[in-house]
Chains A and B, each alone.
Chain A
């Protein structure tokens, strides 16, 4: 079976702002996907499986350590720039390491810590809203 990517399960979307973020990941990037589904458990262990929505819910989680200083600056800029990410509200394009471009928005706040020699930060989380057709 050929390798599958998030790209294969989400719909095409258009970004609010035609700005593309390109990150050179230096470490592991976590891909979290889910669906809105409920499993009702009977006391006897039987199940009733309820789908609330078939839409794939996908997140990309970049640990700060995975970003170069330059990338960290890029992320900081996209988060604050109203013409790009504008915090969590505006969607933009993300050039992902799987070779595809996704329409994303920030799911996380932009928290970072100034340290000697650079910054450290908590994870940066993007919610994937759709994909740009290759």
Chain B
């Protein structure tokens, strides 16, 4: 593309006879205008020349102006090719001397001044300005009665400095402990970019002053603060509280999940003291700097830094905040909600992806900015950048940019990227130009043109000058000598949708082969189309690598429309034949002869349309997902923060008896560190662990595993061991010993409760845990002793498996929706061994347990559970030292209870009111109980009344296949003894029960030994196949319509 001359100008250029005048329009730094020339000349100029700062070509030449002789010397105009492949926007320059008789002018006034230099031609018919350039005076060197001005094109002033103009991110929110030396700047995006954003820790990003109420921890509940205006306070981040009267409430605390705009939660051990006071709550926050808040940002992705772990990418939780810096400028920052603080599978807290160490790597973020989101045409972006660098609207030739934009649109070439780190403006523009195969040309304005190999002029022996009549001419040829001839190079780019901080490296040929590649890598960060990328690379390397010779020659002024960076044709045998050459520089001498410097290439140069490449499909990196990432929020524990594998790489946090063996010696500290470390498991090494207060479980899915039952956890005297208060998660406790240290005041070794039932929804699983419980040896409710596991007000799960309970008043007591006790051993509980007072709809299972030394109640499941199952248990009171007021092996009043295959053994002479093997029913009707296949063996010598099986107000039950042996040796007999006792209460009867196939041996064979008794409140019961042995009465029936029969042997 040569510049376009108008008709008048072209006529002048084409004239073989012309008068040339150089006009110097100078504006000094005092805005004084001078119209100078190399001679005094009256010229006719277009009207716009009156104001040369708004220049357009104008054919209406109406003004006549006299330029006075002042220019003593003039170097001519040199125009250089912008060598973007070398990141050089070469300046055009000029030097001229100014007459200064008597030193009337002060040269200092001209330093920084502006000069428009025009070439004015006159062929006798037409006259006018043909070319015009704009310069800035760099220096004005005084001499005797003259001074010399050294100038460069005005564009060089715009090129000075770095880009983007945005501030260093580290300056905006300085962070002492993080990486402040990076060149990362506030990004300048175009289209949709995906570049690293600076991580800034913003001091006191949130500050809330409010009247708040501090709520102390009670019974393991979290500490909290209630008030208002907490909406911007993030969970998973520490806050600093000041202003409280009680010193305990001032300090730095981690804000826990589930905090709201009105309530902030903190760890139970935060130590809050109850008070209501005006306090100040501040939070430092880590965020990624997007840019000034006067623009809006659309953030679509955030990914993990490439140097930290595997690829992780988030598309949600990308929250923005506007924060004012110390200079009162407001910025928009990104705070990604990507951290699952409570381990419930939902990200709830701000977080980053980081490796060990202090600094946080900048995270690539895909986003767009409101003013540039739709700006993807390279010409539009280059114009934007030029203006952003300081070019005025009139400095830019809009027509040239419009033309280039249309070409890029035709190619389908788009930019999506950002300037996000500091580089020189020259580098920035060179990169942009290389990414669209375009050049800038500077005259009086900034012009852009798409590079093309189309020849713009042909040079023959007519154009090329000789110096004398007898002369071979000014043409010269110089071969470029190279040590190595490269045929291609590398380029770096990424596909659409991927981060633009690091790139895939591809090789690309200059022409066809890639046998000897240059080490250079061309960066094409803004272009994602791999075919476009290859074209750009090939075109770039053609110019960079295929140079073979320089030629130079002097021509007439008939080629004034030519500019550098265009191809011309040399067509003359004496100049080597016909070939094309790239114009590298043009100097227009004072006598308007033109000196050309050109480059020849070793191969045919291509245009964009001449090239075709297949798309690149990058090979996926193997093993990219093999490494566990470290995702963290700020750590509250230095130990956690400074450990590597033992904390971050280990599935459990390890607690040991001393700090030589494990990172933690406190179970509670390890529990609290689970949040920081994003773990959910604690492994306890063998050893004794004396608690100083209960271990308060946190609302997180947690496993606590002991190395063996040599892990002995000792409660603080009089206090619980582990407390579950208002928890909702799942807990697995396994393989350790809970050893009560109580000596008078009893406590709960495991205590699960809620302020309401709904708030205690935890699911707790206990396996292979030994409970060594305290009791005072007093049987029954008047005694004092520990509860092994105690739950109240619950709707969750308690599952106790393979545990061992010694002592205490209760082994397991409690209620929740689902309770299961299986395969456990109980020994010597002084009141109820297993007691579940379930609520309607609850499920209870008690199976395969072994209970010995039962003092009062073995297994008690009360009335409202759904079909509790009590099976295969053994309940023994054989060696019990004393029995409480009565003894009941198994009791349930629930509908549909299934009591099967249990064995109840009693061998005790304690005087009691009653001794019952199995008791079902209550004064309320109990429907459909099943008591099947149980074995009941009593041996006593007391006035106690023994009952093998009692059925109270039971309807439609089944009592079959039980074996009952009752041997009360007392003599004389005081009270009766019963094998099966069926009865009612008040008006409520036992009805329609089936009593069959039971074997009853009353041993003493006296009148008081009754096999099956049905009272007057037992009607319509049936049964056959029963056998009674050694009874006074086989069946005693006082009811109505009973048909239970037995064979007495």
**Could you list which residues of chain A lie within 8 angstroms of chain B, going by C-beta atoms?**
38, 40-55
Contacts and interface: CB of A to CB of B under 8 A. Distances in A.
Given A38-B591, A40-B556, A47 B465 contact: no
B465 to A, nearest CB: 5
B682 to A, nearest CB: 94
A99 to B, nearest CB: 29
Contacts of B625: none
Interface stretch (B17-25, B688-696, B727-735, B993-1001): B17-25
23 contacts: A38-B591, A40-B591, A40-B593, A41-B467, A41-B468, A41-B471, A42-B463, A42-B465, A42-B466, A43-B471, A43-B475, A43-B574, A44-B461, A44-B462, A47-B16, A48-B16, A49-B16, A49-B17, A50-B17, A50-B20, A52-B20, A52-B39, A54-B19
Contacts of B460: 44
A-B interface, 3 closest residue pairs, ranked by CB to CB distance from nearest: A43-B461, A51-B19, A43-B473
A42 B17 contact: no
Contacts of A40: 465, 556-557, 591, 593
Interface of B is mostly: loop
B462 A50 contact: no
A43 B592 contact: no
Query: Which of A43, A51, A52, A55: most chain B Cβ within 10 A?
Result: A43
B621 interface: no
Interface string B585-625: 00000011100000000000000000000000000000000
Contacts of B467: 41
Contacts of B464: 42-43
A36 to B, nearest CB: 8
B60 interface: no
Given A48-B557, A55-B39, 14 more contacts: A40-B465, A40-B591, A42-B463, A42-B464, A42-B556, A43-B473, A44-B460, A44-B461, A44-B462, A48-B18, A48-B556, A50-B20, A51-B18, A52-B38
B180 interface: no
B644 to A, nearest CB: 78
A50 B557 contact: yes
Contacts of A48: 16-18, 556-558
A43 B460 CA distance: 9
A39 B475 CA distance: 18
Interface residues of B, number: 29
B591 A50 contact: yes
Contact of A51 (B20, B473, B574, B593): B20
A41 B469 contact: yes
Contact of B591 (A42, A44, A47, A52): A52
Contacts of B465: 40-43
B72 to A, nearest CB: 14
Interface string B470-490: 011101000000000000000
Contact of A43 (B38, B466, B558): B466
Nearest to A38: B591
A46 B556 CA distance: 10
Contacts of B469: 41, 45
B755 to A, nearest CB: 103
B1008 to A, nearest CB: 149
Interface in B183-221: none
A29 to B, nearest CB: 28
Interface string B676-702: 000000000000000000000000000
Interface of A is mostly: strand
Contacts of B473: 43
A127 B935 CA distance: 150
Contacts of B591: 38, 40, 50, 52
Contacts of B468: 41
A53 to B, nearest CB: 5
A52 B463 CA distance: 20
Contacts of A53: 39, 41
Contacts of B18: 48-51
Nearest to B17: A49
A84 B960 CA distance: 157
A42 B462 contact: yes
B39 to A, nearest CB: 5
B592 A50 contact: yes
Nearest to B124: A51
Nearest to A46: B462
Nearest to A42: B462
Contacts of B471: 41, 43
A40 B16 CA distance: 9
A87 to B, nearest CB: 15
Interface in B397-423: none
Contacts of A52: 19-20, 38-39, 591
A52 B120 CA distance: 11
Nearest to A37: B19
Contacts of A43: 461-462, 464-466, 471-473, 475, 574
Contacts of A55: 39
A129 B207 CA distance: 86
Interface string B440-476: 0000000000000000000011111111110111010
Nearest to B589: A38
Given A41-B469, A42-B465, A50 B558 contact: no
Nearest to A55: B39
Interface string B116-128: 0000000000000
A40 B473 CA distance: 11
B1027 to A, nearest CB: 141
B461 A50 contact: no
A30 to B, nearest CB: 26
Nearest to A48: B556
Contacts of A38: 591, 593
A47 B462 CA distance: 9
Query: Which of B18, B556, B557: most chain A Cβ within 10 A?
Result: B556
B531 to A, nearest CB: 46
Query: Which of A45, A51, A54: most chain B Cβ within 10 A?
Result: A51
A43 B575 CA distance: 11
B24 to A, nearest CB: 15
Contacts of B558: 48
A66 B313 CA distance: 102
Contacts of A51: 17-20
B834 to A, nearest CB: 118
Nearest to A45: B469
A51 B557 CA distance: 12
A102 B637 CA distance: 104
A40 B554 CA distance: 10
A99 B460 CA distance: 53
Nearest to B554: A40
Nearest to A36: B39
B20 to A, nearest CB: 5
A48 B18 CA distance: 8
Given A48-B558, A50-B18, A55-B39, A42 B592 contact: no
A46 B16 CA distance: 9
B486 to A, nearest CB: 36
Nearest to B38: A52
Interface in B548-575: 556-558, 574
A42 B592 CA distance: 14
Nearest to B556: A48
Contacts of B557: 40, 48, 50
A44 B463 CA distance: 9
Contacts of A50: 17-20, 557, 591-592
B29 to A, nearest CB: 31
Contacts of A44: 460-462
A56 B557 CA distance: 24
A50 B471 CA distance: 20
A50 to B, nearest CB: 5
Contacts of B20: 50-52
Nearest to B575: A43
Contacts of A54: 19
A42 to B, nearest CB: 5
Contacts of A42: 461-466, 556
